[in-house]
Structure 1
C-alpha cells in the first residue's frame, strides 16, 4: 500500500505578546477603561471611607428592623 504522511509537528500556541506598561496610557478603548479603573482603585485606597463601617451597619439594622416592625404590627 502506501504510507500515510506524518502529521505536522504540534507547536505550542504562542500567546499574544502584551505590551503592558501601566505608566503609559493606552490608545485603545479597552486600555483607557483599564486606566480609569486603575485610577479609581488608587483613589479609593488613598482616601479611605469617610463614614465608619459600624455606622453603616447600624443604619442598615435600623432600616431593616423598622421594616420588620411595620410588617409585624400593621
Structure 2
C-alpha cells in the first residue's frame, strides 16, 4: 500500500538571502564551459561538477522554501 507523508520543516527567513559562494559558482561555470568546449570532463572534473551542482540545487530549494514562508507571512 502506498502512503503519502507530508513534513513541515521550519525555514528561517534569512535562508532567502543565501548565495552560492562566487568562487564555487565560478568553478561550476568553468567546468560546464570545459564540458561544452571539449565535449567531456575527466572523471574527477565530472565528480566535482556533479557535487557543485548538487550543492547549488540544495541551496536553491532552501531559498525557495524560505521565500514561500516569507510570502505567506
Scaled by the length of structure 2, the TM-score of the pair is 0.35
Task: Name which structure has the greater RCO, CA cutoff 8 Å, separation 6+.
Answer: 2
Larger Rg: 1
- Is the helix fraction higher in 1 or 2? 2
Scaled by the length of structure 1, the TM-score of the pair is 0.34
